[in-house]
Each structure stands twice: as C-alpha cells, then as structure tokens.
Amino acid sequence: MKILILFVGWCILFVLCWPVALLALILFPLVWLISLPLRLIGITLEAVFSLLRALLHLPARVLEARRRPTHLALTESDGGTLRR
C-alpha cells in the first residue's frame, strides 16, 4: 500500500512539475545509499543499549530467581495440584 501511495504521489508530481519528479527519481537511490550506514549505526546502538540494559538488570534477575521456589512438583494424591 505504501508503494502504491508513493507511486501515485510521484505521478501527480510528474504531471505538475516533471523536472522535479525526474530529479526525485534519480536522487532516491542515492539518498537510500547514504542512509544505509546510518541504519547500521542505529542497529548497532540498539544492540549495545540492549546489552547494557541486560547487564544492569542481571543482578535483579539473579536475586529474584533466589526468592522463587526452585522446585514445584505435581502430586498425584492432590489430583494434580501444585505443591512446594
């Protein structure tokens, strides 16, 4: 749907001002190529921040795991209810 809207917009621009439409058609791949390194930087920074968030939350997750019961067993005598 996005591509269709983009194409219709380009056709309208071509009818109204064809030199600008042709310039946009030529410059679009160049702008896309220039934006690729910026996307890679964004992906890298997102990964770094996710790693930092995981490292900062690790002590809380370890302490939370100690508080949880480690062994929950199903007992057949209770009809399958959980018992600690």
Q: Which of 23, 25, 27, 31 is nearest to 7 (CA)?
A: 25
Look up residue 39 and give its amino acid.
R
Mean pLDDT over all residues of the chain? 85
* % residues pLDDT > 90 (the chain): 68
Specify the residue for token string 């490292």.
55
Give the containing element (helix H, strand E) for 74.
Answer: strand 73-74
Q: Which residue has the higher pLDDT, 78 or 12?
A: 12
For residue 73, the cross-strand partners are 83
From the CA atom positions of the chain, what is the Rg in Å? 28
The structural domains of the chain, with segments of one domain joined by +, span: 2-83
Could you read off the pLDDT of 38-79 as tens digits, one per residue?
Answer: 999 999 999 999 999 999 999 888 888 777 765 555 555 555
Give the pair of three-digit tokens for residue 18.
Answer: 């064809």
* Cα 39 versus chain centre, distance: 12
